[in-house]
Chain A
Amino acid sequence: MRPVYALGAGAHPWGKWPEKPQLQLALEAMSAALADAGIVWTEVQGLVAASSRFEGGMGWGLHANEVVQAVAEQGIPCINVGGACAAGAIALQTAHALVASGQYDVVAALGAERMPKGFIPRPPGSADDRSDNDFLRWVAMGATNPAYWAIEARRRQHEHGTSERTLAQASALMRRNAGGNRLARYRDPISEEDVLASPMVADPLHLLQICPVSDGAAAVILGSEEFVRRSGKAAVRVAGCAVGSGQFGDPARRIPTISSTVREGVAHTSEVTGAVRAAFELAGIGPEDVDLLEMADNSAWHILAWPELFGFYEPGQGDWMLEQGKLAIGGELAINPSGGFLSFGEATTAQALLQVSEVLWQLRGEAHGHQVPDAKVGMTAVLGLGANGGSVILTR
């Protein structure tokens, strides 16, 4: 493999944009990414789109083909990858492979999403029988996504004594980070009291402790060393890039299944921890080298638990790290300086690419208003339905 660099990134601000079609969100993100990379469409040699959210390929999504047909019909390969909420990471992995192999010099990865309101319902088209987990969880018990996260959070309270206040502090930190990020949807500061006063959705998680859904789009352009030199920008390298799927025996309460078969010694959320470990190996670094982590905080529980799962510190230590301010911008390990999913709301297929965009801007020192001081190594981690995990490490 030859070295691959992040040439540029662009994003459409997250929010609700009923007047803008998904394609428009995508085109604006791509235009911003091209400008950021200092290149034009004719230099783009391939486009990978994170295009689908669900097992079986159903759901929402945007195809790379729609984008080039709208804006640049130039014969380039258009690759559309699924992977649910991890699709953006899989798109980046694919774009990375295309450049690393030497076949192409500039490849863009893109995700654009307009989400339906409220709890994410089951997509149409699958079988109404017991072979379909997403059918079962609705008809047999009405388990919404936050219920799964709440069950994890409740168990953490039991095992580690995590307090309601600490869980509230996680949300407050995300909102504080988002305050300086023009791309985030929710930027007003919130206190722990605000979090605890928000409606209970699934105990112990309140409304302000679970990620809403949003519309958004993000694009990242990868390229060879020659292109990053030409751009005149800081050379930010994709030092590690990996995707993974789940391990047998994983104890995670995996949406939308209604059971887990748990085996001793198997990592929790193994699809993500596996990708993180693989990314570390490729980059030849470890958790101690990372300045910032952009991770999928679908709930406040994730902020506490995920860095522990990745080996940043011991299980149960996340509470103390948060309470001591060590996870804030300027702390030991900045978690989601962007504001995270809790402040953006999830635009599924676009989310992992927004994470990589954020890390790129952080490493260039361009994360105005929410900059991690002297950031040199940044990592992303994301989880998608169907036990998809992805992780990317950028270094400068």
Chain B
Amino acid sequence: MGKAAERFVVEGLVEQTPAGPRLIGSRCRGCGTTYFPQKASCPNPACTDKAPVAALLPDQGTLYSYTVQRYQPPPLFRMDGWEPYLLGLVDMGDGLQVMGMLTGVKEQEVRIGMTLQLVTEPLYCDDDGTAVLTYKFTPAGTAL
């Protein structure tokens, strides 16, 4: 751990806490709505305060739906050893649904409603050897 250099695919998406990774979203101080990723303002038309502040999302959610990305996406996406992967839509509570890759689960084991845990995994290695991480979801209880 921590020997090789690491970075995330983009800054400001994930925070590594001592208890594990958490997604960084926003919670509006005015209307209480939670968003992901962080928002510059609050799109709730009934909210008059428009005061989103950074907030860590729960580290678990339930699977709402999913698919398998069978074809390699265009070049902006990068992944070492490309092969088809599961993509899930995960209900994080408070009405917030987040999309992300699934890991540690076979397609035939995936069930809508299953509890998932947030993890981070490298997608690819940069030319200078830096591991580039993204967030993923894995069946709860298997993350360690």
Binding site for B on A (CB under 8 A): 118-119, 121-122, 128-131, 135-144, 147, 150-152, 154-155, 158, 199-205, 248-249, 251, 253, 258-263
Which residues from A are CB-within-8-Å of B9? 139-140
In the bound complex, CA of A204 to CA of B67 (Å): 7
With A122-B76, A248-B44, A249-B95 already in contact, the answer to whether A200 and B70 are too (CB < 8 A) is yes
B1-33, CB under 8 A of A: which get 1 and which 0? 000000001111100000000000000000001
Task: Find out whether the CB atom of A158 lies under 8 angstroms from the CB atom of B112.
Answer: yes
Question: Do residues B99 and A261 form an inter-chain contact, with CB atoms below 8 A?
Answer: no
9 closest A-B pairs by beta carbon, nearest first, are: A142-B77, A150-B67, A142-B73, A138-B76, A155-B65, A121-B74, A139-B9, A259-B36, A202-B67
- Whether the pair B100, A141 counts as a contact (CB closer than 8 A) is yes
With the chains together, A141 CA to B43 CA distance in Å? 24
Number of interface residues, chain B, beta carbon within 8 A: 46
B69 interface residue (CB < 8 Å to A): yes
The answer to whether B65 and A154 have CB atoms under 8 Å apart is yes
Collect the chain A residues with CB atoms within 8 Å of residue B95's CB.
249, 261-263
How distant is B24 from chain A, measured CB to nearest CB, in Å?
9
A151–B76 CB distance below 8 A: no
Question: B10, A135: Cβ atoms under 8 Å?
Answer: yes
CA–CA, A115 to B96, complex, Å? 34
A140 touching B10 in the complex, CB below 8 Å, given contacts A131-B40, A260-B97, A261-B35: yes
Binary per-residue interface labels of chain B (26-61) against chain A in the complex, 1 for a CB within 8 Å, 0 otherwise: 000000011111101001111000000000000000
Contact check, B101 vs A141: say whether CB atoms are below 8 A apart. yes
A259 to chain B, nearest CB (A): 4
Complex interface bits, B93-126 against A, C-beta within 8 A gives 1, otherwise 0: 0011111110000010000100000000000000
Q: Is the interface of B mostly helix, strand, loop or mixed?
A: loop
With a cutoff of 8 Å between Cβ atoms, the chain B residues found around residue A155 in the complex are: 64-65, 89, 112
Extra A-B contacts (9), CB below 8 Å, given A142-B69, A259-B35, A262-B95: A129-B11, A140-B10, A141-B101, A144-B73, A248-B43, A248-B46, A249-B95, A259-B99, A262-B97
Do B79 and A142 have beta carbons less than 8 Å apart? yes
Say yes or no: A143 contacts B40, CB within 8 Å. Answer: no
Which residues of B sit under 8 angstroms from A204, Cβ to Cβ?
67
**6 A-B residue contacts at CB 8 Å?**
A128-B10, A138-B73, A258-B99, A259-B97, A261-B97, A262-B95
Choose among A130, A139, A147 the residue that contacts B12 (Cβ–Cβ < 8 A): A130
B26 to chain A, nearest CB (A): 10
Q: How far is the CB of B7 from chain A (nearest CB, A)?
A: 12
Q: How far is the CA of A142 from the CA of B37 in the complex (A)?
A: 16
A263 to B46, CA, bound (A): 13
Known: A151-B87, A202-B70, A261-B33. A139 touches B98 (CB 8 A): no
**How far is it, in angstroms, between the C-alpha of A138 and the C-alpha of B87 when the chains are bound?**
12
A130 contacts B66, C-beta separation under 8 Å: no
**Of A139, A147, A263, which is within 8 A of B67 by CB?**
A147
